[in-house]
Amino acid sequence: ILNERSTREQVEKMNDNTQETLIKLCPNIFGEDIVNNWIKFGNNNHDDYLNDFVATAMIPVPGADFNTTKDLCKHLFLITRTDSLVSPAGIHTAAWENETRLFRCNSLLANNLVDKNCRDGILNSIRSVPIPSNNASNNSIDIKNRLA
């Protein structure tokens, strides 16, 4: 439900802060009990949900194992918003924000003319981008500047 195109389109129309908007909509979609259990069991770190999300919804990094794909997504999501793993909504909205970026990265890595050393260099370059501090601004302009 969270990954449906119609959900994304509605959320993006409502507010500039898509994560906050989707978090507020989740109790209406899933019910208070489920959302409260997400909070309880996730304890502000939904790494297990990220694992399932990457396995089911993300395009694998060409020529890489699952953990590389998951780590790349996690790193980009945390660069986008340091609080992106605090809820399933945060994971989905960070994926939305990075959709084009991940597509371009995967397209480049899928090219057979790019040798393994160059591919490893591309992935290492992405990994070298620092994750902002927990108190970094999450307004849309600052997010775009971090991802530029």
Query: What CA–CA distance (Å, rounded) separates 148 from 84?
Result: 18
pTM: 0.81
Sign of the CA dihedral running 34, 37, 41, 42: positive
Predicted pLDDT at 76? 93
Query: What CA–CA distance (Å, rounded) separates 74 from 68?
Result: 10
Predicted pLDDT at 124? 93
Give the Cβ contact number of residue 110 at 10 Å.
13
Predicted pLDDT at 11? 72
Distance between terminal CA atoms of the chain?
Answer: 29
| Closest C-alpha among 66, 52, 59, 55 to residue 98 | 59
Query: What CA–CA distance (Å, rounded) separates 57 from 37?
Result: 22
Binned average pLDDT, 10 residues per bin, the chain of 148 residues: 71 74 80 86 87 92 90 93 89 89 88 89 92 87 82
Radius of gyration over every alpha carbon of the chain, rounded to an integer in angstroms: 16
Query: What CA–CA distance (Å, rounded) separates 67 from 75?
Result: 12
Amino acid at 15: N
